[in-house]
Every structure is written in structure tokens, then in C-alpha cells.
């Protein structure tokens, strides 16, 4: 059955069937224009684990998501498909996580249990394994992009999308990153891990094709990161959660604040959405929750403004969803709306009514 025939026969008002893909949709990988890649990886998490289980939980919760989108008519017709989780990645994540725990314990303990030589060997194993994971994700992404499709990563911790961003550099000479997050993630090799979840944006900014980083919702950061922002010569622009809220208290509208954010973005945008950008009540089991943050409607309003501006979201990720049913419930609904908005920003991909 062709994609067109599936669209004709599919009733978006019906409940999802057990054999359907994400959101209960009937499309396979060849038919879909948006490919979601599960990233069950959380090697370097420094507070609480569980995000590696999020792709499976989000997939399960997605079957309860209604497909009507008041902003984009029939957006589901573009076709969204989530690929099978890579079991080797999951096993390697668990293995390397145990090594990272040894390292972190040694760093934080008053009495070190590992010798310098043992620590060096542990670091090498973790960093080399993480580099291989990035290479695997990059190779997968290149295949998706070469097929003319859009990719979205579903994590996992926030280290996971680096391979996606690296692959985009072969297809785009100039693009920016819109980062929704509680943290800057601009630390250089945090805790000695080259590919730490707290270093994702530091690593991304080493890529010459990434011309701008616009951070939104930041509210937990260190002096090293503030210095990086201040020394970036405008390449990193940060909208701190505190400043956004104080601007509202002084009478500035959310629309005006979000227009300021959008105006900082270049034409092509990669969206990186860490679930801890949200108020913790919405994703309480995220890896490193921080008080404050956004409501879901605020996030979607900002992304709608990005689309309305004519900018194109070239790829995206949703990461750091916690290991809980409520976290997955919230994230699955946000993921669906993000997919729709991405399709809208790539106007030619939307099916004609």
C-alpha cells in the first residue's frame, strides 16, 4: 500500500493500534519525511539516571496523543516514523555508565580509590566509547539527510545530539542552534568527560558551520560558562530565565520577548530542546531538574514564532526526558507538536489538501 493510500484509509480520530508506529501513525521509514532516532544513552549524567529509557516510554505514551493540531491542518500526513532502538547503544551506555560512576565517585570522594593510571584508563574507555557513539549517530543522520528527510533525535541525555549536529555540517555551511534548557552546557569536558551532557554546546560551538547559539531559559550555570558567553563576541546569546521573567514583571510582553529571541536566529536553525527547560512539575524526573522554567504553551508559542518568521528548522532533538510516565506523557505531546512545526517550517513538505 502506498503512502497516499495509507493517508486515504487512515482515520486520525481512531485509537492507535498495537502494530502502529509512533503516535499511532501507519507510515514506515521509507514513506515518512520526519525520522525520529531513539538515543538511549546517558553515560555521563551527573545527578540522576533514567533518561536512556525515555525513547521507549515516549513511544508508548505517544499512542495516547490526539493528532488534531489547531495550528497546522492535517500535519500528520507528512509522515512521522520512529526507528527501532539500537540495542547495542543501550548496552554500551550501561557499560560505560558504570565506568563513569567509578570516575565520578573517585572525583567526589575524600579518599580516592583509583590510581592515576586506573583513572586514565577509565577516562579513555568512556571518552572513546562516547566518540564512537557520536560517529554512529552522525553516520545514521547522514543517511537520513541524503534521503531528503528531516531527522529528530529522542534522548537520552543532552550529549546525544552531537552526531546529528556534526552531520548537518556537511549539508549546511551556516546554521544556528536554538537551545531551550535550564543549563548552558558550555563546560569544557565537564568532570573530565569530553562528551559530557554538560559540554554539548561547547562541543557544538567548535564546528565552524555553527554560526550562532541562542540559549533560552537558562537558570543554572557557572562562572566558566558566563565567561564563555561574554567572550564569544556575540556568537552566543543567552536569554536567562531570570531576565525573561523580570522583563515581564516590568511590563514587557511575552510576544515582544520572544520576538527578540527569534531576531537573534539565522535563517537555518537546529532546535535542541532539553526537557529541564520546562517547569519541573512537567518533567520531574529529568536528569538535572531546576526550579523555574517554561510552561508547554510558552515553548510552543516560541517555536510558532520561529516558524512564522520564515526561518527553517533543519533538524531537532528532544532530550533529558525523565524515567516516568508523566514525563513521557508531556514529552510525547510536545514531540508531536514540534514535528508538526518543523514540517511547517519546511513548507514544501506539507501535503496538499
Q: How far apart are CA 187 and CA 223, in angstroms?
A: 10
All domains of the chain, ordered by start, with CATH? 3-349 (3.40.800.10)
Per DSSP, the three-state class of 152 is strand
Of 190, 180, 210, 206, the closest CA to residue 303 belongs to 180
What average pLDDT does the chain have? 95
210-218, strands of its sheet edge to edge: 80-82, 34-39, 150-155, 312-319, 268-274, 175-180, 210-218, 236-240
Decide if pLDDT at 91 tops 60. Answer: yes
161-185: average pLDDT = 98
Q: What is the pLDDT of residue 315?
A: 98
Q: What is the pLDDT of residue 111?
A: 74
135-159: average pLDDT = 97
Decide if pLDDT at 74 tops 50. Answer: yes
317 versus 47: the higher-pLDDT residue is 317
C-alpha radius of gyration, the chain, whole number: 20
204-213: average pLDDT = 98
Task: Work out the percent of the chain whose per-residue pLDDT is above 90.
Answer: 92
Judge whether 58 and 23 are in contact, CB under 8 Å: no
Burial (CB < 10 A; 0-12, 13-18, 19+), residue 100, is: buried
Decide if pLDDT at 166 tops 60. Answer: yes
Q: What is the pLDDT of residue 347?
A: 80
Question: What band does 148 get if pLDDT is binned at 50, 70 and 90?
Answer: very high
Of 257, 251, 302, the closest CA to residue 278 belongs to 302
83-102: average pLDDT = 96
8-28: average pLDDT = 96
Q: What is the pLDDT of residue 353?
A: 46
Decide if pLDDT at 351 tops 80. Answer: no
Decide if pLDDT at 307 tops 80. Answer: yes
Joined grid coordinates for residue 342: 518543523
349 versus 108: the higher-pLDDT residue is 108
Task: Work out the percent of the chain whose per-residue pLDDT is above 70.
Answer: 98
* 220-257 pLDDT, tens digit each: 999 999 999 999 999 999 999 999 999 999 999 999 99
Question: What band does 345 get if pLDDT is binned at 50, 70 and 90?
Answer: very high
Q: What is the pLDDT of residue 47?
A: 76
Decide if pLDDT at 41 tops 80. Answer: yes
326-335: average pLDDT = 98
Decide if pLDDT at 118 tops 70. Answer: yes
Amino acid at each position: 500500500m502506498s503512502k497516499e493510500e495509507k493517508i486515504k484509509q487512515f482515520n486520525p480520530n481512531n485509537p492507535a493500534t498495537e502494530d502502529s508506529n509512533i503516535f499511532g501513525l501507519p507510515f514506515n521509514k521509507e514513506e515518512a519525511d520526519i525520522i525520529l532516532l531513539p538515543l538511549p544513552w546517558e553515560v555521563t549524567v551527573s545527578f540522576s539516571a533514567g533518561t536512556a529509557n525515555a525513547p521507549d516510554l515516549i513511544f508508548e505514551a505517544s499512542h495516547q496523543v490526539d493528532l488534531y493540531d489547531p495550528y497546522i491542518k492535517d500535519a500528520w500526513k507528512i509522515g512521522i516514523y520512529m526507528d527501532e532502538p539500537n540495542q547495542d547503544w543501550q548496552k554500551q551506555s550501561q557499560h560505560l555508565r558504570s565506568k563513569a560512576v567509578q570516575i565520578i565517585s573517585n572525583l567526589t570522594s575524600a579518599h580516592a580509590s583509583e590510581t592515576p593510571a586506573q583513572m586514565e584508563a577509565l577516562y579513555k574507555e568512556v571518552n572513546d566509547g562516547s566518540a564512537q557513539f557520536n560517529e554512529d549517530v552522525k553516520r545514521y543522520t547522514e543517511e537520513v539527510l541524503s534521503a531528503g528527510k528531516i531527522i529528530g533525535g529522542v534522548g537520552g541525555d543532552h550529549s546525544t545530539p552531537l552526531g546529528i549536529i556534526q552531520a548537518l555540517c556537511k549539508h549546511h555551511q551556516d546554521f544556528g542552534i536554538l537551545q531551550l534548557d535550564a543549563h548552558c552546557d558550555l563546560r569544557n569536558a565537564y568532570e573530565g568527560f569530553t562528551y559530557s551532557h554538560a559540554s554539548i554546546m561547547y562541543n557544538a560551538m567548535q564546528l565552524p558551520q555553527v554560526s550562532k547559539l541562542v540559549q533560552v531559559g537558562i537558570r543554572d550555570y557557572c562562572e566558566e560558562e558566563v565567561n564563555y558567553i561574554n567572550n564569544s563576541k556575540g556568537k552566543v546569546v543567552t536569554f536567562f530565565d531570570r531576565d525573561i521573567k523580570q522583563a515581564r514583571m516590568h511590563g514587557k510582553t511575552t510576544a515582544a520577548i520572544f520576538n527578540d529571541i527569534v531576531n537573534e536566529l539565522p535563517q537555518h536553525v537546529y532546535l535542541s530542546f532539553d526537557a529541564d527547560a520546562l517547569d519541573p512539575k512537567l518533567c520531574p524526573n529529568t536528569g538535572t531538574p531546576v526550579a523555574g522554567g517554561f510552561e508547554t504553551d510558552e515553548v510552543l508559542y516560541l517555536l510558532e514564532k520561529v516558524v512564522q518568521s520564515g526561518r527553517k528548522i533543519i533538524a531537532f532533538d528532544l532530550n533529558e526526558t525523565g524515567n516516568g510516565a508523566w514525563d513521557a506523557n508531556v514529552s510525547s505531546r510536545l514531540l508531536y507538536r514540534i514535528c508538526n512545526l518543523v514540517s511547517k517550517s519546511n513548507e514544501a513538505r506539507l501535503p496538499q489538501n
